[in-house]
Amino acid sequence: MHFTSETSSDGVCEQLFTLGEIPGVLWTPVGAVGARPLILMGHGGGQHKKAPGIVARARRFVAGCGFAVVAVDVPGHGDRPMDEEYNRIATENQTRVDAGEEPAPLIAGFQALVARQTIPEWQAVLDAVQQLEHVGAGPVGYWGVSLGCGLGVPFVAAEHRVRAAVLGLGGALASAEAAARITVPVEFLLQWDDERVPRAQSLALFEALASPEKTLHANPGKHGEIPAFELDSTLRFFARHLG
Amino acid sequence: MHFTSETSSDGVCEQLFTLGEIPGVLWTPVGAVGARPLILMGHGGGQHKKAPGIVARARRFVAGCGFAVVAVDVPGHGDRPMDEEYNRIATENQTRVDAGEEPAPLIAGFQALVARQTIPEWQAVLDAVQQLEHVGAGPVGYWGVSLGCGLGVPFVAAEHRVRAAVLGLGGALASAEAAARITVPVEFLLQWDDERVPRAQSLALFEALASPEKTLHANPGKHGEIPAFELDSTLRFFARHLG
C-alpha cells in the first residue's frame, strides 16, 4: 500500500493511495489515533472513487461519526485503465439494448462478472487499511447504490467483516441469490420513479435480503435523485450498528 | 374545554380534558410558555388516547422537541360510550368476514363513515387547544397508523393547518381518493409482513399521496411490530418540518 498524497480540510484527512493496481482514497479524522469503524464505499457506474456523491458522504461519516472511509476505483473506472474485456462486453450489451433487448438482465450479468474481480480486490483493501494505526480492526460498514449495489450485494454476502450495509437503486435480477446470504442490518434506498431499475425489481431485491433487520426507504424521484435527508438517516444507521 | 386533571413527570405535563363529549389528553413541556408546534395523534382500532404506543411517542415528542401533543378517543373507544350504529355495522361486518368476505373493503367503508365524524371533532380539538397560552397557533403535525391512518388521511386532506404527517399500516382501499389531495410531507410506515393490510394496498396508498416529499419506510414484521428506531426517525421528520 503506497500513499501518494495527503491533504486535510475541515477536520478530515484525505490520503490517496495505490494497492497494487488499485487506486484508492482514505478519509479519516485529522489526528485520529486507534481503531475505529470503517466504511467501504462503492461508487456508481461511470463514476469513480472521488465522485461528488462519494466525497460528500465520506466527509460526513468522518466528521459526524469519527469513522474512517475508504473508496477505490472499480475496474475500468476513474484512474484505472480501460479494461478490454469489460469494454467489449459493455459495447456488445449496448448494441443489444439498441436492438430492443431488455437492459436489466444484461446489466445484471455484467455486474456479476465484475463482482468476481471486485470482491477479492475490496477484501484486500480492507486487509491493508485495517492494518493502519489510525484505522485499525474496528467494525466495517458498506455503502453502495446502483453499480455500488450490484457489486456490493455479493461483496457483503461474502465478507463477514461487514456488519451493516446501505444498498439501493438495484434490482433482484443482479443479485437475489447473493442477497439471500446477507444477514446483517441493511438500509435499502429505492427511488420510486427510477427510470433505470424497475420498481418491482427493487422491491424484490429488498424482499430477497435475509437480514432480520432491514429497512426500505423509498422516495419519489429518479435514479439519481436520492433526497439529502437520507444522508442523515444513513449516518444514524451506521452509528447505531457500528458506533 | 374542561380540564379534569393535571400531572407531570420527567419534564412532561399531562392534562386530561373534555371538549363537549370528546375526552382528550394534552401533553406539553412542564413550564411551557408561548406558541409551539402541535402534534395531533390518532390511535389504532380498539385502542384509546392513552394507549402505550401513543403515550410513549407523545412523551418523546414533548421531551425531545418541546412540542405539544394532543390525542382524543375515537367514537366508541376509550372513555366514550359505545356507539350503537358503529357497533351494529362492526358486528355485521364481522359476520360477513366470518362468512368468507374480504375484510379490507368492509374496514375501508367503516373507516370512511367514522372519518365523517372525526374530521370535524379533531378540527374542534385543534381550535380549542391552539387557544391555550402554552400551545398557541404554531405549525401542526399529524401522527396516526392503522385506524389512525384510515381516519388520518381524510383529516390531513381536509385540514390545512397540518403541515406534515406520519401515516402507515393502512391501504389504498380506504383512502386513495383523500390521499390524492394530500400535498404536505408524509413519512409512511409499512410493515412488510402485515397480516391485516395487503402489501400491495399499502404501496398503492403511498403511491396515491400527492405530496412532492413523501418517504416510505418499510420494515420486516407484522402489523403491530414497527421497530423502535422508527420513532427516532419520526422525531427528526417532525423536527425538520415543524421545528
pLDDT tens column, A62-93? 999 999 999 999 999 999 999 899 999 989 99
User: Residue B219 and residue A219: Cβ atoms within 8 Å?
Assistant: no
- Alpha-carbon gap, residue A13 to A67, rounded angstroms: 12
CA distance A138 to chain B (A): 23
A229-242 helix and B229-242 helix, angle to the nearest 10 degrees: 150
B240 → chain A, closest CA residue: A229
Cross-chain CB nearest to A220 (options B190, B214, B233): B214
Q: How large is the average pLDDT for residues A112-130?
A: 97
What does the pLDDT read at residue A105? Answer: 87
Q: Burial of A195 by CB count in 10 Å (0-12 exposed, 13-18 middle, 19+ buried)?
A: exposed
What does the pLDDT read at residue B172? Answer: 84
Q: Tell me the percentage of chain A whose pLDDT exceeds 70.
A: 100
A241 → chain B, closest CA residue: B229
Contact B197, B188 (CB under 8 A): no
Give contacts of A190 with chain B, Cβ < 8 Å: 216
And the C-alpha cell for A54? 462519494
Q: Is the dihedral of CA B70, B75, B77, B78 positive or negative?
A: positive
CA dihedral angle for residue B17, residue B18, residue B22, residue B27, rounded to 10 degrees? -10
Average predicted confidence (pLDDT) for chain A: 95
Q: Burial of B80 by CB count in 10 Å (0-12 exposed, 13-18 middle, 19+ buried)?
A: middle
- Alpha-carbon gap, residue A107 to B86, rounded angstroms: 55
**Interface with A, mutate which of B207, B215, B222 (most A CBs under 10 A):** B215
The pLDDT-based confidence of A203 (bands split at 50, 70, 90) is very high
CATH class of A2-242: alpha beta
The pLDDT-based confidence of B107 (bands split at 50, 70, 90) is confident
B233 → chain A, closest CA residue: A233
CA A145 to chain centre: 6
β-sheet bridge partners, residue B5: B16
CA distance A17 to chain B (A): 37
User: Residue B217 and residue A217: Cβ atoms within 8 Å?
Assistant: yes
Q: Which residues does A contribute to its contact with B (CB < 8 Å)?
A: 190, 192, 203, 206-207, 212-220, 227, 229, 232-233, 236, 240
Query: Could you tell me whether strands B12-19 and A214-219 are parallel, antiparallel, or unpaired per DSSP bridges?
Result: unpaired
Q: How large is the average pLDDT for residues B177-193?
A: 97
- How many CB atoms lie under 10 A from the CB of residue B160? 10
pLDDT digits (tens, 9 = 90+) for A144-179: 999 999 999 999 999 999 999 999 999 988 788 999
Cα angle, residue A51 at apex, residues A115 and A53 outer, rounded to 5°: 95
Average predicted confidence (pLDDT) for chain B: 96
User: Residue A215 and residue B212: Cβ atoms within 8 Å?
Assistant: no
What number of C-beta contacts closer than 8 Å exist between A and B? Answer: 45
pLDDT digits (tens, 9 = 90+) for B23-71: 999 999 999 999 999 999 999 999 999 999 999 999 999 999 999 999 9
pLDDT of B174 strictly over 80: no
User: Residue A220 and residue B229: Cβ atoms within 8 Å?
Assistant: no
CA distance A204 to chain B (A): 12
pLDDT digits (tens, 9 = 90+) for A183-193: 999 999 999 99
CA distance B154 to chain A (A): 22
**What amino acid is encoded at B185 in this protein?**
P
So what's the ipTM on this one? 0.87
